Amino acid sequence: MSDEIRGSESDRPASTESDRPASTESGRPPSTEWGERLRRALIWAGIATVALIAALALLHLLADLGTVISVRGSRWALAGRLLPTLSLSAIGLGLVLVTGWLAAAGRRRELLAIAIGFATLIIIRVVISHQLDGTMTGEPAAYDQMAESFVAAKPDLIGRPPGYAALLAVVYALIHDRQLATEALNLLLALLAGGAVLGLTRGLYGPRAGALALLGYAVWPAAALMTVVRIPHTAFDLAIVAAAWAAVGMPAGWRGSALTGVLLGLAQYLRPTAPILLPAYIVARWWPGATWQRHVATATVTLLAFLAVLVPVMAYNLERTGSPSFSTSDYGGHTFYIGTYVPSGGTYSDEASQELIDRAGPDPRARSALGTELAIERIKADPLGMAALAIRKQDTLWGTERYGVQYAISQRLKDQPGHPKATTAMLLSEGFYALVLLAALGAMIVRRRQPDALVPLATLVIWAASATHALLEVRDRYHAFAVILLLPLAAYFVGWLMDGVERRRGADSAPSHSTDAIH
């Protein structure tokens, strides 16, 4: 196989000018008319998709504002509930303006802008860690127990992806306070994710957008709140954005495809749905196109690298179940059962979960097998009802971003209507989410005639998540890995707006060289 999967003209045999196809600026052969139409259709479909999600987010934001305003109390009480949100929003706007100006004012000031982004990331997460402890039931408790098994050198690998628990175990060995260890690990992962967001965005759109994307990740309320939560949320986001950097940012060649596959393979150790994203990343490596032979080579290298990382998982599953599966979870059928449970709208339900446990017993694999069977029976019995449920679940998946409040803030605070901590976190989360979607939509429209590979990547990742959770259990936090891919686009659009303002100011301040004729 050639070192360059999508290589340059220099890799090809010499030919005459008459039989050599014209090349694009990147050195790749021109795409066919059919391929060009398909790419344009994908861009416009992505614009329509993000526009719909943005509309959902805005509707939920308005509903949340209405809820806060409707809570009875004096005007001063209402001001007290909204003042923290407005104050923090104003501070965030100021940081955006300062960071954007510094990043475009030379290399030294760009470094200062980057330092502001990382400092903001650290400060916000340290403050949250000091104020909140997160929940310790359900998944967080399960990962804590799994990490304990690693510390005891008797790893329990049955059930959940082991990657995050293994990382927790390492930090547990260094820091005996387990909540502090969790927060330290998640802070480190967030710093790495911020660096990947910076590298991806700067390589695509330049210094200003790179610094703004880092700052956006730093102040992302829902992601910051997850610092205190013991689940692989931040770790998975890091793997996804790092794989995007490899897929989009690395030059044409097998190395970038191999690294993309490796990073997605590592993501499978964090969440078992990583394989559904493989096609999106392969398309990103193809963009804007090449010969079909090179397409096949790119897909082959990415897939082989992905599988190579998962050889231990396949060997373990072969020994345990007799099947060389690369799944890192025994709960696939369980989540399928819950995802088709109409009374809960396909979201997690203690009632549905206990119902399946009562029927299948405590073994996760037995529950998964029975859950799959029962879910398929539901679909066959009422296909139209299941289709309607799948559509309603899209609102749950994309409409809100309250998972940070749900996981990080104690139930005691959430049960108090209008409590400042819960209200501020909710409004900031919903508002930031809506703004990112609107800004990303603006970027996709502005760049529609010259889209880079991040646009189809983000679009296909959104579609993959929607298709998966149309069947499986759905929660709003399952869209986070798509949002982190939209952040660079949102940063580009904000930088584009700032560029336009500066150009207009420069034109207004330039002296006029025209004079009226003197007669």
pLDDT tens for each residue of 239-283: 999 999 999 999 888 999 999 999 999 999 999 999 999 999 999
Q: Is 153 left (phi over 0), alpha (psi -120 to 50) or beta?
A: left
pLDDT higher than threshold 50 for residue 9: no
* Reported confidence tier of residue 509, pLDDT bands at 50, 70, 90: low
Which pLDDT does position 323 carry in this prediction? Answer: 85
Q: Measured between alpha carbons, how far is 408 from 412 in angstroms, rounded to an integer? A: 12
∠215-488-36 over CA atoms, to 5°?
175
Which pLDDT does position 12 carry in this prediction? Answer: 35
Which pLDDT does position 136 carry in this prediction? Answer: 80
pLDDT higher than threshold 80 for residue 507: no
pLDDT tens for each residue of 156-198: 766 789 999 999 999 999 998 999 999 999 999 999 999 999 9
Which pLDDT does position 506 carry in this prediction? Answer: 77
3-state SS record for 46-93:
HHHHHHHHHHHHHHHHHHHHHHHHHCCCCHHHHHHHHHHHHHHHHHHH
Which pLDDT does position 21 carry in this prediction? Answer: 37
* Reported confidence tier of residue 516, pLDDT bands at 50, 70, 90: very low
pLDDT higher than threshold 60 for residue 300: yes
Percent of the chain with pLDDT over 70: 87
Higher pLDDT pick, 91 / 69: 91
CA nearest neighbour of 209 among 88, 110, 90, 122: 110
pTM > 0.75: yes
Mean pLDDT of the chain: 87
Which pLDDT does position 14 carry in this prediction? Answer: 38
Higher pLDDT pick, 365 / 60: 60
Query: What would the DSSP string read from start to end of 405-474?
Result: HHHHS-HHHHTSTT-HHHHHHHHHHHHHHHHHHHHHHHHHHHTTTS--THHHHHHHHHHHHHHHHTTS--
First to last CA, the chain: 78
* Reported confidence tier of residue 134, pLDDT bands at 50, 70, 90: confident
Give the pLDDT mean for 374-393.
95
* Reported confidence tier of residue 67, pLDDT bands at 50, 70, 90: confident
CA nearest neighbour of 343 among 352, 332, 331: 352
Higher pLDDT pick, 214 / 450: 214
Indicate if the alpha-carbon torsion angle 466, 472, 476, 480 is positive or negative: negative
